[in-house]
Homo-oligomer: A and B are copies of this chain.
Amino acid sequence: MVVLLKQNPDKKQLDGLVQWLEGIKIQVHMSEGLHHTIMGLVGDTSIVDIDLLKALEIVEDVKRIQEPYKNANRKFHPMDTVVNVGNVKVGDGNFTMIAGPCSVESLEQMKLIAKEVKKSGANMLRGGAFKPRTSPYAFQGMREKGIEVMIEARKESGLPIVSEIMDPSQLQFFEDVDLIQVGARNMQNFELLKELGKLRKPILLKRGLANTLQELLMSAEYIMAGGNEQVILCERGIRTFETATRNTLDLSAVPMLHSLTHLPVIVDPSHGTGIAKLVKPLALAAAAVGADGLIIEVHNDPAHAASDGPQSLTPEAFDDLAKAVNNILPFAYKGE
């Protein structure tokens, strides 16, 4: 951390600051110049509140040089983390294919889709039971019944199941869910993250629509600080000025995250584009860029899907996509 002092800082305030920093075990190095004095802070600066420093009268600016996350930081954990979801390994060279409908609608539907996507090579089944919808008048999901349907569908297919939680009060229904998803709108629902940190089961953490990679890693840090280290990150598109696609899928996030963290990173091209015909090309791109997996919306009847119809693939289209992805994988980016 680097602190730029104002010209001619008050001597007493400066001494106070240095003492305080040294008291919390931070080494202080001063570089005095003609116009500016720079303080270099060395030590565990993740505990220093950058805003507090900025507010001091004698301080002009503060720049953080070390990342404010520890558990998620590759510098301190150089080896890739592998997250075990049921019998599926995610990360460190394993490619995961998660597929299923946006919303759970019925047991028949889930059984049918599970069978189809498994045949095409999916190794996890997704399905939304609790649905975050912009409008209070839109379908809000089957809720706990939907989770029951998912569990039933797992029995037959053997695929581990993934579903989204929206609130800590729903935790009781997720005990038997293999991978608990935190949606983009809840990426900074810190009370929820803390509760998930108390669990010892895998969490799929989606990047918020307007959140930086550093904020995504800080949210992962919330979960990990509670002792739950089984976090999978998911790039699912960010909000930009472009309106041709629903979101802008940020694929540079994948190799960038891989350099910053040891956690696995998967990609959601369905929400990332919002348009069914773009899902396949972006899935291929995500595989090529080195993602640890994909999460794809598949519906037997997209035109009548209860939510997010326009971005869902038919099982046939998913089969075509999965084959194309498998062709790319041997030639995908494997890191430096």
Binding site for B on A (CB under 8 A): 2, 4, 27, 29-36, 38, 40, 42-43, 46-47, 49, 51-52, 54-57, 61, 63, 65-66, 68, 130, 132-140, 166-170, 185-186, 188-194, 208-210, 212-215, 218, 221-222, 225-226, 238-245, 248-256, 259, 272-273, 275-278, 280-282, 284-290, 302-305, 307-310, 312, 324, 327-328, 331-333, 336
Chain B residues within an 8 Å CB radius of A333: 280-281, 284-285, 324
Contact of A221 with B136 in the complex, beta carbons under 8 Å:
yes
Which among B31, B51, B186, B252 is the interface contact of A40 at CB below 8 angstroms? B31
| A258 shortest CB reach to chain B, Å | 9
| A51 shortest CB reach to chain B, Å | 5
A285 and B43 in contact, given A213-B242, A215-B134, A309-B55 (Cβ under 8 angstroms): no
If over half of A's interface residues share one DSSP class (helix, strand or loop), that class is named, otherwise mixed; here it is mixed
| A278 shortest CB reach to chain B, Å | 5
Complex CA gap A134/B66 in Å reads: 16
Complex CA gap A222/B240 in Å reads: 25
What are the 10 A-B residue pairs with the smallest beta carbon separation, nearest first?
A33-B42, A210-B210, A29-B31, A55-B309, A31-B40, A288-B288, A167-B191, A285-B285, A285-B289, A281-B333
Chain B residues within an 8 Å CB radius of A253: 242, 244
Complex CA gap A302/B307 in Å reads: 43
Chain B residues within an 8 Å CB radius of A312: 55
Which among B65, B168, B249, B254 is the interface contact of A38 at CB below 8 angstroms? B65
A2 and B239 in contact, given A251-B282, A282-B289, A302-B55 (Cβ under 8 angstroms): no
Contact of B222 with A305 in the complex, beta carbons under 8 Å:
no
Contact of B31 with A32 in the complex, beta carbons under 8 Å:
no
Contact of A57 with B303 in the complex, beta carbons under 8 Å:
yes
Complex CA gap A169/B134 in Å reads: 22
Given contacts A134-B215, A282-B289, 13 further A-B contacts (CB under 8 A): A49-B139, A52-B309, A133-B190, A166-B190, A167-B189, A185-B188, A210-B241, A212-B242, A240-B240, A240-B250, A244-B253, A252-B282, A277-B336
| A294 shortest CB reach to chain B, Å | 13
Chain B residues within an 8 Å CB radius of A136: 190, 193-194, 218, 221-222, 225-226
Closest to A33 in B: B42
A241 and B244 in contact, given A51-B308, A51-B310, A278-B252 (Cβ under 8 angstroms): no
Complex CA gap A26/B284 in Å reads: 41
Complex CA gap A151/B54 in Å reads: 31
Complex CA gap A132/B194 in Å reads: 11
| A230 shortest CB reach to chain B, Å | 17
Complex CA gap A227/B234 in Å reads: 36
Contact of A40 with B38 in the complex, beta carbons under 8 Å:
yes
